[in-house]
A and B are shown apart, each in its own frame.
Chain A
């Protein structure tokens, strides 16, 4: 190897150039998936509020945005974090969502048994959240930024959501479901935005 200026970096540059197109394609693919799922989440939310009856669908309806076991909304400071950190939080939230969506679906199966489309959307949402979360984690691993620390505990969240949902009155259950569907949409939208920042031309 000749000792030209910068020549020591040549081998790494060669390997990273060969990896970049593949990684970029994966980022684009995951970003597209997040974009699509965000649209689905909007539809889910619309269908959900429609079936709970007014005031759920009314413009001024504003139930308390209260914590849901195991998951919170994206913090206002989320956008200020490094992109890898944001994506780790996105992946963790997407992992926590499926048991919550399952709990909502089970309760809605009792409250709206004649609404198969809503029940199907809720079931699909749980699967899609799982899939997108796995895709984001795969990207993080490819970027060398995978989470090595202890994770949140989806099973505990699921147990809490399930037992509480089963025990609660109908109105609180409706509100809880609305909250979960809202969080689902928020985190999908956030994930789409964070992945967009990884695309070429986006800020680092």
Chain B
């Protein structure tokens, strides 16, 4: 009896008919007492099968009054009535079905196998998933492979996830991401679960915060141990099966990253047209642990997309860029690698780049001497022997002679027009080179 069938007086209440139990599913799978109607149960429910295989199914009728009969019941598959010769009455309340040489399923949500009463009403339903075994290339084959795949269209159990990578921000947490296996992810809803445990002891734990840095990622916010390895893996599950990735073993200290250096300042170096000074602060979160930080600087001309990278800026918080174009705006960024934190033998993971900071090199009046120097100095530099042939930028010293970064002879007379201490008062001169391959842009 449909709900809500009441007289106008009862329906004058200011709400719809009261909540009813969720009877829909019960009716399709169990009897309703006192109703005089029948329902049924199909077995198996929602099976997964190979193309070409057979299916034995039953429809068992329940009802009130008891003793509901299987006589008159019939089957349809995707709306088509199945021939009676495929069915047989097992007992008074059960009709059996035998299907052979199954074709692949017609739709992704499964073929609809339905048990009907004599009058055509639906008593029960079950959805069949019929596909074929494939190898990774998608080529059909029959054999003893244990992985059942319903290729229908292209539904398969998940392939194992791979390429797990993890990092810890300031040793406080752990974020991991992975690449899903090809087939199962694409064509069936697949659940992923990141698991982790201490290698030598401890129970399996499951990550709970998913999709933090993309669809296949998870974040473990706390309760992580240092100085002891973790084992980490990903389990993928869909309705056709599951797969487990290879286990990644790591120590949190080996995968530490940090925040970008704050307070990056870029300023002119007095009147020097081809140089800029970059200064920054060590990331505060690791300031008590960062004994051997490495930094990288990159810079580009304002209207260019090509970054020049200055590598191996070790354990210092200032640097001078040289070989720049006069009268040009440059954008500069810095990032940090917490190398060797707490004695780790591995390089850490580079932080994000700091926000771009801009500054412009000065442009002075044309100077024939300057022009000459610009032509001569690179030539002189290229003639000097150096273990790192690209690192030949010079800096002035108080003695008035030019020396190569990092010390060593020979020296050259300081060009007369350049004042002593040309770096400017109070500046910390970091030894910093132009990019590999020669002068900057």
Chain B CB within 8 A of A6 CB: no
Q: State the CA gap A24–B106 with chains docked (Å).
A: 51
CA distance A169 to B187 in the complex (A): 20
Residue pair A67, B24 in contact (C-beta under 8 Å): yes
**B13 to A64, Cβ gap below 8 A?**
no
Task: Give the docked Cα–Cα distance between A170 and B125 (Å).
Answer: 8
**Closest-CB distance, A89 to chain B (whole angstroms):** 6
Q: Is residue B315 contacting chain A, with contact meaning CB distance below 8 A? A: no
**Is the beta-carbon distance between A77 and B78 smaller than 8 angstroms?**
no
List B residues 268-325 near A (Cβ within 8 Å).
none
Instruction: Given A63-B122, A68-B22, A113-B189, verify A53-B16 contact (CB < 8 Å).
Output: no
Closest to A63 in B: B122
Give the total of B residues in contact with A, Cβ under 8 Å. Answer: 50
Contacts of A65 in B (CB 8 A): 2
Q: A157: which B residues are within 8 A, CB to CB? A: 19
* Minimum distance in angstroms from A77 CB to a CB of chain B: 6
A198 to B198, CA, bound (A): 68
Q: Does B188 contact A (CB under 8 A)?
A: yes
Cα-based distance from A66 to B22 in the complex (angstroms): 9
- Asked if residues A169 and B46 are in contact (CB atoms below 8 Å), the reply is yes
| A contacts with B, residue count (CB < 8 A) | 62
Write out, one digit per residue, whether chain A residues 56-79 have a CB within 8 A of any chain B CB (1) or not (0): 101001111111111111111110
| Chain A residues, CB < 8 A from B109 | 51-53, 111-112, 170, 174
Question: Using Cβ atoms and an 8 Å threshold, which residues of chain A touch B5?
Answer: 75-77
B364 at the binding interface (Cβ < 8 Å) = no
Q: Which residue of the partner chain A has the closest CB to B111?
A: A53
Alpha-carbon separation in the docked complex, A147 to B13 (Å): 10
Q: Which residue of A lies closest to B29 (CB)?
A: A172
Q: Is B21 an interface residue (CB 8 A)?
A: yes
Q: In the complex, A8 Cα to B357 Cα: how many Å? A: 75
Pairs of residues from A and B, 7 with the lowest C-beta to C-beta distance, nearest first: A171-B125, A55-B79, A54-B79, A170-B127, A72-B3, A53-B107, A72-B4
Could you pull out 8 A-B pairs where Cβ atoms are within 8 angstroms? A54-B79, A55-B78, A80-B8, A110-B189, A150-B15, A152-B16, A157-B19, A171-B112
